[in-house]
Amino acid sequence: MDRVDPNLRDEMLAKLFLDQMVSDFKRSKILERIDHSLKNKDKEAFLRLTEELKSVS
């Protein structure tokens, strides 16, 4: 990374950071929905959401 243009490096780091933040946000929302499905004993939603969580993680 030392030889990369500083502007390009900053842009790459910002993109990585934003991608991680979006992923963390999606994961958090899915986990909330999983908790809700457990609370409501909704097996179908739980199974669907756990599969969705696997694709985000």
Q: Give the closest residue to 35 by CA, choosing from 57, 56, 53.
A: 53
Q: How many Å apart are CA 31 and CA 13, to the nearest integer?
A: 27
Owner of token pair 């958090």: 28
Q: What is the pLDDT of residues 2-41, one digit of tens each?
A: 677 888 999 999 999 999 999 999 999 999 999 999 999 9
User: What crossing angle do the helices spanning 43-56 and 6-39 adopt, rounded to 10°?
Assistant: 170
The 10 Å Cβ neighbour count of residue 29 is: 13
For the whole model, what pTM was predicted? 0.79
